[in-house]
């Protein structure tokens, strides 16, 4: 069904010819809607038919009205020039005169079929029969038509779709057809078109040329627009297969109908300007000039002049740049691929200076009048810019010469010994199969294009010209040959383009001038070093750039490879190298300061502990509360040791101790602080309320242990909650030196807010101590220990507040931990100096190392030290304090009691 639909129009034409025309031919000729055949004939011994698209068929009017580009007339004249030249030669087809019979194919396959019918022997015989009927007694009229000569072959047509129909039709009568521009791959099928040849290569090679251009300029994302016939469809199929084998993708493709309106082209341009199609700055056009010009006019209307760079096929390029009048600014920068053909200067001078007023060419005067009105084809000025016009006329000449050389070889082989060589040749060429066999093996030197040969499929060798359309200083569009492509050369050197000659007109600069550099036509920019491509679906030209995992190298542009343990990717992620361990990531100075303070603190704590143990009999040491003292020493040492663990290799036990150490150590230090300041305050308060003989209800050791234990358990619960949300783990940080060495530092993972949370929790006890140290400030001047407590507590608050600032502002989590660890070490040393060092100094270096005895004192002395203040007295060494009975009594017993109270208040911790 598809085949029937495809060929329904010309099947109907054949049906009409064989069945309808014999009965109605006379009557239908009277209808005005039927355009009569216009033929250009010249008498000869042998006739060559010609099909040239001089006009464009108007489907609505059913008439060939619009005149085509001047290159169409030039191609026709090229055939006449070749015939004249062959007839003038004595060494080629001597004694044989070539004639021609040329029709306008109107660039339409239906019209081409109708015109091709005139070449069929049955049609020619039928025309003679009709002439006999209509002319009555003129029996010689038919004989006069035969006198024009015997038709043996056809030159044409230009459009592949038209040539396919003509070759299939004429092949039924074994009439060879040699085309000068039909490039469709379908015509290489010898089974379907057994009598077809061409002087141009097939589209499959033209597709390779365009592919090589795309690869040369690294255009990985292109749009492809093609005509809705065999020419465009086959090219698109071939280009799609090339896409699968090479690194480029088709962004958008569209089949363009010859019946599209201006609005259709406008919609297409708008589509091309939407993302992601707009990323493809290069648009490949495999169509004909009429369609390409309509597209460029739409681009002009949409003000998208510099949005596209065109790469066009020979269907557009054969007409030359003059056919693009009106859209020069859009077409500027175009790269055109066209079968290789050189200019024949002698013919160009003849053509562009020819006057058609009295010429037998029925279309010459029409063309000259039309183009001379536009100052493009006037005999007086046509030689100025002949380079702007097509050179495909020499390919037409090659087609004519192929017939001539083939028939000359037939004459030499078959008619040399004949008594009637001319009649012998005329008889021989009437055998189309025999003539075609000679055409297949012909080899000759072209007038302009070098050696011409045909392969087993009847195709010419693959050589193409690459042309670039450029604007001159006057804004006139010119074409410049910038390179060639030859199929016979190796792949690496087939395409040869001189980049210094190429000008693109795509990118506009800041000041409005135009850049001539090649455009970027890519879907995605290349990934930076160390990044890997992640493709979108099946489009291998569109990707996003992602980093490999930190421990992976870039194996290729799409794959990452993990490094083994203790190795790490180098700076550019090309290989794995062994890492060197460092102690403190990117904070070497801060880290070494932290560990130095930790060592110093442990040393001071050890000195204090040893000093206390050596002076246990001293009254200050014996008066210290053992529970509170041990708790604080354990907390201080735990803090110093836990900070030092930042230098150890991470292990679950190390990380557990590190994460528990901060909170628990602060709890062990500041809960005793809170207890002590409360005791001082309550002692003072109770003494003030109860008088001289009432006891103050103070905490004993069991209650102290209980309070400390409850606080530590609460802290452990908080730490456990952090560990549940963030399990124990470690993180490895990598750094690089300027020389390229790779360093690693392992650190335990600590939740960002855990250190601050621990500080905030223990800030409760610090605040309690600060508050009660202020409330107990009314104790006498000689009881200065409460002032040391207050100084230590307020100093700690200020220190930890100062630590939180760099903790939250630094960009490194590990550096933040070092700030906290350093602050904790400074605080531990500060507590040692404020709480324990003064006692140890007195115990070791004081003048009175034994417990002082009570002595007499005067009332004035007592009053100077006690006046206006309640003084508690010592009930026992291990018990709580009680108030003195009468502070004004000057007895020895009262004096001793006062001294003991002062000592106890200074040394009770």
3-state SS assignment for residue 747:
strand
pLDDT band at 508 (very low <50, low <70, confident <90, very high): low
pLDDT at 124: 77
pLDDT at 598: 86
Q: Which of 633, 636, 632, 670 is nearest to 764 (CA)?
A: 670
Beta bridge partners of 101: 41, 49
- The model's pLDDT over 205-237, given as tens digits with 9 standing for 90+, comes to 999 999 999 999 999 899 999 999 889 999 999
The answer, yes or no, to whether residue 81 has pLDDT greater than 50, is: yes
Q: State the burial class of residue 616 (Cβ atoms within 10 Å of its Cβ: 0-12, 13-18, 19+).
A: exposed
3-state SS assignment for residue 458:
coil
Residues 6+ apart with CB under 8 A from 536: 542, 543, 544
Residue boundaries of the structural domains of the chain: 36-181+392-452, 199-341+462-523, 531-575, 588-845, 859-907
The overall average pLDDT reported for the chain is 80
CA dist., res. 468 & res. 281, Å (int): 17
Mean per-residue pLDDT, 368-383: 68
Instruction: Give domain 199-341+462-523's CATH superfamily.
Output: Response regulator (3.40.50.2300)
CATH hierarchy code of domain 36-181+392-452: 3.40.50.2300
Q: Which of 196, 264, 252 is nearest to 224 (CA)?
A: 252
Taking the CA atoms of 776, 778, 784 and 790 in sequence, report the sign of the dihedral they define.
positive
The answer, yes or no, to whether residue 45 has pLDDT greater than 90, is: yes
Mean per-residue pLDDT, 677-697: 62
The answer, yes or no, to whether residue 172 has pLDDT greater than 70, is: yes
Mean per-residue pLDDT, 625-645: 87
pLDDT band at 673 (very low <50, low <70, confident <90, very high): confident
The answer, yes or no, to whether residue 701 has pLDDT greater than 60, is: yes
Taking the CA atoms of 759, 760, 762 and 763 in sequence, report the sign of the dihedral they define.
positive
pLDDT at 88: 95
pLDDT band at 39 (very low <50, low <70, confident <90, very high): very high
pLDDT at 490: 87
- Choose between 253 and 537: higher pLDDT: 253
- Choose between 454 and 861: higher pLDDT: 454
Q: Are 43 and 31 in contact (CB under 8 A)?
A: no
CA dist., res. 155 & res. 600, Å (int): 105
pLDDT at 467: 95
pLDDT band at 809 (very low <50, low <70, confident <90, very high): confident
Mean per-residue pLDDT, 515-527: 86
Comparing 563-567, 569-573, 737-741, 822-826, the range with the smallest average pLDDT is 737-741
Q: What is the DSSP track for 681-730?
A: HHHHHHHHHH-SSPBP----HHHHHHHHHHHHHHHHHHHHHHHHHS-S-E
Residue 80, CA atoms < 13 Å, CB-side half-sphere? 19
- The model's pLDDT over 107-125, given as tens digits with 9 standing for 90+, comes to 999 999 999 999 998 877 7
CA dist., res. 45 & res. 98, Å (int): 6
pLDDT at 734: 78
pLDDT at 78: 97
Mean per-residue pLDDT, 743-767: 83
pLDDT band at 689 (very low <50, low <70, confident <90, very high): low
Which CATH number, 3.40.50.12280, 3.30.70.270, 1.20.200.10, 1.20.1070.10, labels domain 588-845? 1.20.1070.10
The answer, yes or no, to whether residue 244 has pLDDT greater than 50, is: yes
Q: What is the DSSP track for 830-861?
A: HHIIIIIHHHHHHHHH-S--SPPPP----HHH
> 407 vs 279, 429, 445, 852, 868, CA distance in Å?
55, 7, 16, 146, 146
pLDDT band at 569 (very low <50, low <70, confident <90, very high): confident
- Choose between 661 and 411: higher pLDDT: 411
Domain 199-341+462-523 and domain 588-845 have a common topology? no
Mean per-residue pLDDT, 537-541: 73
Residues 6+ apart with CB under 8 A from 530: 547, 548, 554, 572, 573
pLDDT at 181: 92
CA dist., res. 460 & res. 475, Å (int): 37
- The model's pLDDT over 139-167, given as tens digits with 9 standing for 90+, comes to 455 555 566 778 999 998 999 999 999 99
Mean per-residue pLDDT, 494-519: 79
């Amino acid at each position: 069904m598809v085949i029937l639909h495809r060929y329904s129009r010309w099947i109907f034409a054949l049906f009409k010819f064989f069945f309808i025309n014999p009965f109605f031919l006379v009557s239908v000729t009277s209808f005005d809607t039927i355009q009569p055949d216009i033929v250009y004939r010249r008498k000869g011994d042998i006739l060559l038919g010609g099909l040239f698209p001089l006009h464009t068929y108007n489907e609505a009017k059913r008439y060939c009205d619009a005149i085509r580009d001047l290159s169409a007339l030039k191609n026709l004249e090229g055939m006449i020039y070749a015939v004249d030249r062959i007839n003038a030669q004595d060494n080629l087809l001597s004694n044989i005169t070539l004639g021609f019979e040329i029709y306008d194919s109107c660039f339409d396959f239906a019209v081409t079929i109708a015109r091709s019918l005139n070449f069929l022997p049955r049609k020619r015989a039928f025309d003679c029969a009709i002439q006999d009927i209509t002319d009555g007694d003129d029996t010689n009229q038919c004989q006069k038509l035969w006198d024009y000569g015997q038709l043996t072959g056809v030159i044409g047509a230009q459009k592949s779709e038209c040539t396919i129909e003509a070759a299939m039709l004429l092949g039924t009568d074994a009439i060879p057809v040699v085309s000068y521009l039909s490039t469709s791959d379908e015509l290489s099928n010898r089974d379907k078109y057994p009598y077809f040849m061409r002087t141009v290569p097939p589209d499959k090679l033209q597709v390779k040329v365009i592919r090589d251009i795309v690869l040369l300029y690294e255009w990985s994302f292109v749009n492809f627009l093609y005509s809705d016939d065999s020419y465009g469809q086959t090219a698109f199929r071939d280009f799609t297969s090339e896409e699968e084998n090479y690194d480029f993708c088709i962004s958008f493709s569209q089949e363009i109908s010859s019946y599209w309106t201006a609005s259709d082209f406008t919609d297409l341009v708008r589509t091309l300007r939407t993302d992601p199609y707009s990323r493809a700055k290069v648009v490949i056009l495999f169509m004909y000039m009429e369609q390409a010009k309509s597209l460029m006019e739409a681009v002009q209307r949409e003000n998208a002049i510099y949005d596209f760079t065109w790469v066009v096929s020979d269907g557009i390029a054969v007409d030359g740049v003059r056919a693009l009048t009106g859209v020069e600014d859009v077409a500027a920068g175009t790269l055109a691929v066209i079968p290789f053909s050189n200019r024949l200067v002698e013919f160009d001078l003849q053509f562009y200076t020819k006057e058609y007023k009295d010429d037998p060419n029925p279309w010459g005067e029409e063309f000259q009048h039309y183009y001379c009105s536009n100052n493009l084809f006037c005999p007086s000025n046509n030689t100025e810019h002949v380079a702007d016009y097509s050179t495909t006329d020499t390919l037409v000449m090659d087609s004519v010469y192929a017939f001539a050389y083939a028939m000359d070889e037939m004459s030499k082989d078959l008619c040399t010994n004949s008594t009637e060589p001319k009649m012998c040749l005329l008889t021989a060429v009437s055998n189309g199969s025999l003539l075609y066999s000679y055409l297949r093996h012909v080899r000759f030197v072209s007038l302009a294009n070098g050696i011409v040969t045909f392969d087993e499929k009847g195709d010419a060798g693959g050589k193409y010209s690459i042309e670039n359309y450029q604007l001159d200083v006057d804004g006139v569009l010119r074409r410049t040959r910038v390179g060639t492509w030859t199929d016979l050369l190796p792949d690496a050197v087939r395409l040869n383009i001189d980049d210094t000659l190429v000008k693109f007109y795509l990118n506009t600069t800041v000041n409005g001038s135009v850049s001539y550099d090649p455009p970027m036509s890519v879907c995605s920019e290349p990934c930076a070093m160390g990044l890997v491509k992640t493709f979108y679906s099946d489009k291998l030209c569109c990707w996003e750039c992602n980093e490999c995992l930190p421990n992976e190298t870039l194996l290729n542009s799409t794959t990452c490879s993990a490094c083994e343990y203790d190795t790490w990717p180098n700076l550019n992620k090309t290989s794995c190298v062994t890492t060197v361990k460092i102690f403190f990531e990117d904070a070497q100075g801060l880290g070494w300061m932290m560990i130095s303070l930790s060592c110093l603190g442990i040393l001071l704590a050890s000195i204090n502990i040893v000093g206390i143990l050596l002076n246990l009999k001293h009254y200050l040491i014996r008066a210290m509360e053992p529970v509170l003292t041990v708790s604080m020493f354990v907390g201080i040492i735990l803090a110093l040791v836990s900070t030092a663990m930042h230098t150890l290799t991470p292990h679950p036990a190390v990380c557990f101790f590190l994460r528990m150490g901060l909170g628990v150590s602060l709890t062990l230090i500041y809960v005793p602080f809170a207890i002590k300041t409360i005791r001082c305050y309550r002692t003072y308060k109770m003494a003030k309320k109860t008088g001289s003989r009432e006891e103050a209800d103070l905490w004993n050791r069991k209650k102290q242990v209980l309070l400390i234990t409850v606080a530590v358990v609460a802290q452990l619960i908080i730490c456990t909650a952090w560990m549940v949300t963030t399990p124990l783990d470690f993180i490895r940080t990598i750094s690089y030196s300027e020389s390229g060495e790779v360093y690693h530092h392992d650190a335990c993972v600590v939740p960002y807010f855990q250190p601050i949370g621990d500080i905030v929790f223990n800030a409760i006890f610090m605040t309690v101590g600060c508050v009660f140290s202020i409330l107990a400030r009314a104790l006498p001047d000689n009881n200065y220990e409460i002032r040391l407590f207050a100084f230590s507590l307020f100093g700690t608050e200020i220190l930890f507040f100062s630590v939180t600032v760099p903790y939250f502002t630094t960009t490194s989590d590990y550096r933040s931990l070092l700030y906290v660890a350093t602050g904790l070490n400074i605080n531990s040393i500060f507590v040692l100096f404020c709480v324990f060092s003064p006692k140890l100094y007195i115990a070791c270096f004081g003048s009175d190392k034994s417990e002082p005895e009570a002595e007499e004192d005067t009332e004035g002395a007592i009053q100077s030290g006690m006046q206006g203040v309640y003084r508690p007295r010592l009930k026992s060494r291990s018990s709580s304090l009680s108030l003195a009975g009468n502070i004004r009594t000057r007895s020895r017993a009262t004096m001793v009691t006062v001294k003991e109270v002062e000592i106890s208040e200074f040394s009770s911790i």
